[in-house]
Chains A and B, each alone.
Chain A
Amino acid sequence: MIYFNNVTKKYNDSVSLEDVNITIAAGEFVSIVGHSGAGKTTIIKLIMAEESPTIGTVFFESTDIHKLTKRDLLHFRRKVGVVFQDFRLLSNKTAYENIAFAMEATGKNDTEIAEDVPHVLELVDLTSKSLHFPYQLSGGEKQRLAIARAIITQPELIIADEPTGNLDPINTSEVVNILKKINDLGTTIILTTHNRSVIDQIKKRVITLENGRVVRDDKEGKYMI
């Protein structure tokens, strides 16, 4: 589904990724681990086409992501759901509207929105908070809302960039369980983390980065650093 071919990414003189080759198949749950600055976030940004590689190519199925036009990029992004460490919710919108916005953006009609949003809110156990604004939610609730927003458009791929970085252990394990559930339903998931317990809980493929290079790629990995 996703192919990194000899990808190198430099910011000015500092090398963030060096000669990375990764293949991720559809339906996989891949965790990317490494210290801060190892290049985890750069990989995410390259997949989302927020950054372009200095050398090499990144493919989604058979298309080179960085050769997409602005319009095609829009459609590509709609196939990908993103969850961030800092949640990145729309602060002026209620929980319900945050999710509805993602559907509106993809051109869904009002009937679909009215049917799907409550369903997803129930899935992440936020039905009672649907009229709350992000600042009225706890960290765990915010992250569950972010996940709900990411899955509402039924994307083929979900990218979670340190989704548990700001959460306590109980909320962390809840978020991981939700992600596993989503993966069981067939959605590909790429997750970055430096939380050992998260990796141990997932028990799926782990890619380890060190100074911008892939140093390990384990089928059922453990946190090795």
Chain B
Amino acid sequence: MFLTDTKRIIRSGYRNFVRSGFTSISSILIMTITLFVIISLIFIQTTLHNVLNDIKEKVDVTVYFVPDASEPAILDVKSALAKLPEVKSISYTSSDIALSTFKEKHSNDYSTLQALDELGGNPLGASLNIKAKDPSQYESISKYFENNNVLTQGTLSIIDKVDYHQNKVVIDRLTSIISGAKRLGFAISFVLILISIVITFSTIRLIIYMSREEISVMRLVGAGSKYIRGPFIVSGILVGLVASLVTIILFIPISIWLGNEMTDFIGINLYTYFKSNFLQLFIIILGSGVILGSIASTFAIGRYLRK
């Protein structure tokens, strides 16, 4: 009995979906827009995340040592810094490497190289390049040099300067931009998804409203609520299924285009991202479509079955 009913409900839902033609197409279109918004927001969030990470990577603090600072003393400072919880990585540049990098950089600048030769020896000091786990943590790292007693015992004298204060404005601004952009991104995504869900709900509601006569006829013929509701839910699920397929298919050329044209600009190849996360994205879109379709139908039909 249950099997027969299920079979009949699915068959009836499928027929309604196919025979409604234009109505089905319009609800598929609306649903596609919703799913399109969802997948676009996933792409935008990924891009934003990537761009912000890129920017974060570029922020650092460099500690410059005086030229005659001994290497073991500098390495002591490095290991002391490595113990700080905020520090992500530290790279050590010896004065020799600093010199060769400088020379390489100015290989076409003859007068600078000549001046360097005239100075004799190596005027450049070694440096430690510190990256924090989060941009907001640079301040506490730089304070470490000001406050920490361990460093003052003979080590402070070897530190020439910490460039945090020069970068402070930029770092502070970036920190606030990053956290602001994240929050704004979430807020916009949330609002857009909400709006498109509401639109989908209203569309399906309207379609079921158009069928209210039929629903009342079904009830007069003696059909039970489940038997009336079932086919509408099946149709809703089919709308979600087709819309998610349409969305995914539409996004193949779009992501190829974005991959070709925008990779340099946004720093991530969205086509590669789309390909490598295809299954996950597909499941998200398919799931959203099917759940939206079925829930919207269930809600919309509820009011006509109450009596």
Contacts and interface: CB of A to CB of B under 8 A. Distances in A.
Q: Do A and B bind each other?
A: yes
Interface of A: 48, 74-75, 77-78, 82, 88-93, 97, 101-102, 104-107, 109-110, 149, 153
B1 A77 contact: no
A88 B219 CA distance: 12
Nearest to A150: B221
B8 A104 contact: yes
Given A102-B221, A106-B222, 11 more contacts: A48-B220, A74-B222, A82-B220, A88-B216, A88-B217, A89-B217, A92-B16, A101-B221, A102-B222, A105-B222, A105-B224
24 contacts: A74-B224, A75-B222, A77-B220, A77-B221, A78-B222, A82-B220, A90-B214, A91-B214, A92-B15, A92-B19, A92-B214, A93-B15, A102-B221, A104-B8, A104-B223, A105-B218, A105-B222, A105-B223, A105-B224, A105-B227, A106-B222, A109-B4, A149-B221, A153-B222
Interface in B203-250: 213-214, 216-224, 227
Contacts of A106: 222
Given A105-B227, A110-B4, A88 B222 contact: no
Contacts of A77: 219-222
Contacts of B214: 90-92
Nearest to B9: A104
Q: Is the interface of B mostly helix, strand, loop or mixed?
A: helix
Among A75, A91, A153, find the residue whose CB has the most chain B CB atoms closer than 10 A.
A91
Q: Pick from A77, A92, A104, A106 the residue with the most CB of B within 10 Å.
A: A92
B20 A92 contact: yes
A103 to B, nearest CB: 9
B231 to A, nearest CB: 9
A79 B81 CA distance: 87
A82 B224 CA distance: 17
Contacts of B224: 74, 105
B145 to A, nearest CB: 77
Interface residues on B, range: 20 to 34
A128 B19 CA distance: 21
A82 B15 CA distance: 25
A119 B74 CA distance: 100
Contacts of B16: 92
Given A105-B227, A110-B4, A90 B217 contact: yes
Contacts of A90: 214, 217-218
A77 B222 CA distance: 5
Interface string B54-85: 00000000000000000000000000000000
A127 to B, nearest CB: 22
B297 to A, nearest CB: 15
A153 B223 CA distance: 12
Contacts of A149: 221
Interface in B128-175: none
Interface in B15-35: 15-16, 19-20
Q: Can you list the 3 inter-chain pairs with the closest CB atoms, starting with the nearest?
A: A105-B223, A78-B222, A77-B222
A105 B15 contact: no
A126 B185 CA distance: 62
Contacts of B219: 77
A107 B20 CA distance: 26
Contacts of A109: 4
Nearest to B16: A92
B150 to A, nearest CB: 79
A89 B220 CA distance: 11
A92 B235 CA distance: 13
Given A48-B220, A106-B222, A88 B8 contact: no
A24 to B, nearest CB: 19
A215 to B, nearest CB: 29
A153 B221 CA distance: 9
B169 to A, nearest CB: 67
A91 B19 CA distance: 10
Contact of A88 (B15, B19, B20, B213): B213
Contacts of B227: 104-105
Contacts of A78: 222
Nearest to A109: B4
Nearest to A159: B220
A7 to B, nearest CB: 20
A70 B112 CA distance: 96
Contacts of A102: 221-222
A101 B223 contact: yes
A38 B224 CA distance: 32
Contacts of A101: 12, 218, 221, 223
